[in-house]
Amino acid sequence: LPKAFIGTILLPIVGNAAEHATAVTAAYKGMMDLALGVAVGSSTQIALFVVPCAVLWGWAFDNPMTLNFREFDTACQMLAVFLVSQVLQHGNTNWLHGLMLITTYVLIAVITWFIPETH
């Protein structure tokens, strides 16, 4: 498995399994505000807290880590923020919005699998 795929796709899914389960359960019960809040809150927590903490953790244990992401990673993050903001801006969602977001996620996963790793 490519390291980029593990770090970009697998670790976030496993690390946020409880939040994903809560969001899916809330959406199934018709509580879309809660589902969207959990999903967006979880993503925000990873982006603004966990990633910088990982850099500090690496510094503390003399394992250099940076916030210097590849162009592809930055473009994916910007695309995700744009799509989610467009979905949330209208105040209501439907299955087509969900399909669009899931399709984007799958496309990012496939591209991440095949993108060459740089050392």
39 neighbors 93 (Cβ within 8 angstroms): no
Residue 61's pLDDT is what? 92
Following DSSP, what letter does each residue of 62-102 receive, concatenated?
Answer: T----S---HHHHHHHHHHHHHHHHHHHTS---HHHHHHHH
Model pLDDT for residues 36-76, shown as the tens digit of each residue: 899 889 888 888 888 889 899 999 999 888 888 889 999 99
First to last CA, the chain: 16
- What gap in Å lies between CA 4 and CA 54, rounded to an integer? 16
Model pLDDT for residues 69-118, shown as the tens digit of each residue: 889 999 999 999 999 999 889 877 788 988 999 999 999 999 999 988 77
Residue 119's pLDDT is what? 61
Residue 81's pLDDT is what? 93
20 or 118, which is more confident: 20
Q: Show Cβ contacts of residue 2 under 8 Å, excluding neighbours closer than 6 positions.
A: 112, 113, 115, 117
Annotated domain spans of the chain: 3-114
54 neighbors 64 (Cβ within 8 angstroms): no
Rounded to an integer, the average pLDDT of 13-17 is 88
